[in-house]
A and B are shown apart, each in its own frame.
Chain A
Amino acid sequence: MTRNQQLNLVLTDVTLTYPDGQSRLTALDHVSLTVPAGATTAVIGPSGSGKSSLLAVAATLVTPDAGRVVLAGTDTAGMGRDEMTALRRGAVGMVFQQPNLIASLTAAEQLEVMAHVDGRPMGAARERARALLDVVGLADVSGRYPHQLSGGQRQRVNIARSLMNDPAVLLVDEPTSALDTERGAAIIDLLTSLTHERGTATVLVTHDTAHLGSVDAVVEVVDGRLSEKVLAAA
C-alpha cells in the first residue's frame, strides 16, 4: 500500500472528559474520524465545541478516556509518555494557531531544531530547512528572527517547521486566525497543496469557513460530538 492509500489518522469512538469542579465535562463524545493520506479534512465548529480537544487527542498530547487513536498505522493504546513523544516527533507535524516560534532562533533554525531534537545530522537538516523555506516562499528570509518577520511569514515558518520531519499526519490549529482574508486564503491553499504533494493526512481545525474550497472534507464538532453531516467535499 502506498502512502496515499494509507489511513494515516484513525480515531475510533474517542471520548475525552476534563474535571470541572465536582463533575467532569465531556470534551469529546464518542468521536470517530478517519483521514487518509493525501487528504485534508477541515474540522469546524463554534468556540468550546471540542475542536482543539480533537487535535490534542490526535497529537497524542492527551490520552482519551475511551476509544482508539491510530497514527501512521501505530495504535497508541497502552503507550508510555516517551513512546507517545517519539511517535509524535516522527509521525506528526503541528501547525499552531499562534506561530509559536522560538524568539532566539532564526527562521531556518526553527526548522533545524526539529532535526536536532530527533538526533539527526545537522548538515542534512540545514539543506532540508532551506528547501522547505523555499517551498513556503521564505528562502530569502531564512536568517531573520521572528520579530523581523510579518505575521504571514511567521505562519509560513510555522507550516514549514511542521513538515521538517516529513510527517504522516499534519495537525493544523486555526492557522488563519491572525491573518487577513487574502493571506488566510493563501495559507489554506498552501496547506492543501502540500498535503497532496507530500501525502500527509491533514486535519485543519478552523472556525473560518470562508476558505474551505480546497479541502477534501469538512466535519463539524458541536458539544463534543462530530456531526454526521458533511458540509462540503471537494
Chain B
Amino acid sequence: MFVAWRDLRAARGRFALMGGVVVLMTLLVTLLSGLTAGLGRESTSGIADLPADHLVFEAPTGDQDVSFADSVVTAEQRRAWEDVDGVSAAEPLSIATTKASATGPSASATGDAARSAAVSVFGVTDGSPLLPGGARVGDGSVVLSTGAAEDLGLEAGQDLSLAGRDVVVAAVADDASYSHTPVVWASLADAATVGSGSGIADEQASVIALSTSDDGSLAAADERLGTTTVTTSAALAAIGSYASENGSLQLMRAMLFGISALVIGAFFTVWTIQRSGDIAVLKALGATTRYLMKDAIGQALVLLVAGTALGAGLAAAVGVAATGTVPFALTASTLLAPPLVLIVLGALGAVLSVRRITSVDPLTALGSAR
C-alpha cells in the first residue's frame, strides 16, 4: 500500500468526504438495526422468551399462515398433545389484548388520575412453567411484567381492572411484551373473560407451548389432531404486527446496504478513472496488476474500516443516550453486524470498480505509441 497511503494523505479532502458518507451510512444502518431489534423485542419477547421449543396452532384454512390472532386450540387437543411421543410438556397459552387500569385505594391515594395502559393478557394454568420466575396466578390474581407495572404504576398486592374485571397483582416478574404491549399473566379463565371478543372460551387457548425431546412425531400428530406446529422462533411471524413491521424495516436495511455498496463502488470507479494515468505509469514501470489491485483494495478497506468504526461508535453513543426513550436494542449483533456487512458489501463494490485497473494500458504512459 505504498501509493495508497500516500493517496489517502494527498487527497484527504476527497477521502474525508467519502469517509463521511461511510460514517453516516453506518450510523444510519446501525441505528436502524438497533431500532428494528428493539421494536422486534417489543413485539415478540413474550413469545420468544417462552420456555418452549415449539408452538401448536389451530391449522389454518386454505393457504393461510398460522396466526396468534386466529388460532384457537381446545382442551382436548391439548390433552392429546401431552401424549404425543417426544413431547415432555404441553402448556396452554391464550393471548388477548385489552385495557388495564390501576384501581383501588392505592391508586386513588396518590391523588393522581388512575393510570391505564393497553396490555397483552397471557392466559396460563396456575403453576405453568410459562409463568416467569415461578410466580403463581389464579382466578382474580395476575402477574405483571415490569413494563406493565411501570405503565400502570402498580406493585404486588395492588388492584387493577382488566377489561372491567377486578384483579389483584400477585407479583411483578420479568419484562415481556407482545405486539408492543406489556404482558400480564393471568389464569386461563380470566384471560377468556377479558378476551371474550377473541372467540377463546374457558379451557381453550390460542396455542399450546411444547417442550420436546424429539420432534419426529410432531407432523403426524398435527395431521391427526388438526393443528400446525412450528418452532418458537418461526412462530414470531404469526404475530401480525411483527411480520409487517419487521419486514418493512428489514427491507429498508437491505436497501441501505445496497445503496452503500453502490455509493462506495461509484466513488472508487471515479477515483480509479481519475488515477488511470498513474496506474498506466506504474504498470509501465513494472508494477503488476496484482500489486495495483492489492494497493487499491487495501485503500478501500482502510476507508471502509475507519468509516464504519466511527459510524458504529457514534451509533453506540446515540443508542446509549436513547435507551429508555425509544425501543433501541444495543447488542453485539446490532452494533457489529451492520458495520461488518457494510465492509463486506463496500469491499465488493470497490473490488468491482477497481477491476478496471486490469484494463489500463501501460502504453498510454508513453503518450502516443506511433
Q: Which residues of A does B touch, CB under 8 Å?
A: 18, 25, 27, 48, 50, 52-53, 55-56, 59, 61-62, 82, 85-86, 88-90, 92, 94, 96-98, 100, 102-105, 109, 112-114, 116-118, 145, 161, 165, 173
Interface size on B (CB < 8 Å)?
A: 26
* B residues 237-296 in Cβ contact with A at 8 Å: 277-278, 281-288, 291
Partner of B281, one of A96, A116, A173: A96
Q: How near does chain A come to B282, taking the closest CB pair, in angstroms?
A: 7
Chain B residue nearest in CB terms to A49: B370
Partner of A104, one of B6, B281, B285, B363: B6
Contacts of A98 in B (CB 8 A): 367
Flag if B3 contacts A102 (CB, 8 Å).
Answer: yes
Partner of B369, one of A62, A100, A114, A145: A62
B346 within 8 A of A: no
Flag if A103 contacts B362 (CB, 8 Å).
Answer: no
Q: Which residues of B does A touch, CB under 8 Å?
A: 2-3, 6-7, 9-11, 277-278, 281-288, 291, 362-363, 365-370
Chain B residue nearest in CB terms to A92: B286
Q: How near does chain B come to A123, taking the closest CB pair, in angstroms?
A: 14
Give Cα A161 to B267, complex, Å.
31
Partner of B366, one of A55, A102, A104: A55
A61 and B363 contact, Cβ closer than 8 Å, known pairs A53-B370, A86-B286:
yes
Q: How near does chain A come to B318, taking the closest CB pair, in angstroms?
A: 35
Flag if A117 contacts B369 (CB, 8 Å).
Answer: no
A97 and B366 contact, Cβ closer than 8 Å, known pairs A102-B278, A117-B291:
yes
Flag if A112 contacts B2 (CB, 8 Å).
Answer: yes
Q: How near does chain A come to B16, taking the closest CB pair, in angstroms?
A: 15
Give Cα A161 to B285, complex, Å.
9
Further 4 A-B residue pairs, CB within 8 A, beyond A96-B284, A173-B366:
A50-B370, A85-B287, A100-B277, A100-B281
Give the interface centre of B6, B285, B288, B367 by most chain A CB atoms within 10 Å: B285
Give Cα A105 to B11, complex, Å.
11
Flag if A85 contacts B288 (CB, 8 Å).
Answer: yes
Partner of B284, one of A25, A52, A61: A61
Give Cα A117 to B290, complex, Å.
11
A61 and B277 contact, Cβ closer than 8 Å, known pairs A18-B370, A52-B368, A94-B284:
no
Chosen A-B contacts, 15 in total, with CB atoms closer than 8 Å, are: A18-B370, A25-B370, A52-B368, A55-B366, A61-B284, A82-B288, A85-B286, A85-B288, A89-B287, A96-B281, A98-B367, A105-B3, A109-B2, A114-B285, A161-B285
Q: How near does chain A come to B203, taking the closest CB pair, in angstroms?
A: 78
Chain A residue nearest in CB terms to B290: A82
Flag if B6 contacts A96 (CB, 8 Å).
Answer: no
Chain A residue nearest in CB terms to B5: A104
Contacts of A97 in B (CB 8 A): 366-367
A104 and B7 contact, Cβ closer than 8 Å, known pairs A116-B2, A117-B282, A117-B285:
yes
Contacts of B369 in A (CB 8 A): 18, 27, 52-53, 56, 61-62
Contacts of A56 in B (CB 8 A): 363, 366, 369
Give Cα A219 to B230, complex, Å.
87
Chain A residue nearest in CB terms to B280: A100
Contacts of B285 in A (CB 8 A): 88-89, 94, 114, 117, 161
Partner of A102, one of B9, B281, B284: B281
Give Cα A50 to B369, complex, Å.
8
Q: How near does chain B come to A113, taking the closest CB pair, in angstroms?
A: 5
Contacts of B282 in A (CB 8 A): 102, 113, 117
Flag if B366 contacts A117 (CB, 8 Å).
Answer: no
Q: How near does chain B come to A38, taking the closest CB pair, in angstroms?
A: 23
Flag if B278 contacts A103 (CB, 8 Å).
Answer: yes
Give Cα A114 to B3, complex, Å.
11
Contacts of B366 in A (CB 8 A): 52, 55-56, 59, 61, 96-97, 173
Give Cα A53 to B366, complex, Å.
9
Contacts of A48 in B (CB 8 A): 370
Chain B residue nearest in CB terms to A28: B370
Q: How near does chain A come to B124, taking the closest CB pair, in angstroms?
A: 69
Chain B residue nearest in CB terms to A59: B284
Give Cα A52 to B11, complex, Å.
33
Partner of B286, one of A27, A117, A173: A117
Chain B residue nearest in CB terms to A162: B285
Flag if A173 contacts B367 (CB, 8 Å).
Answer: yes
Contacts of B288 in A (CB 8 A): 82, 85-86
Partner of B9, one of A25, A104, A161: A104
Flag if B370 contacts A103 (CB, 8 Å).
Answer: no
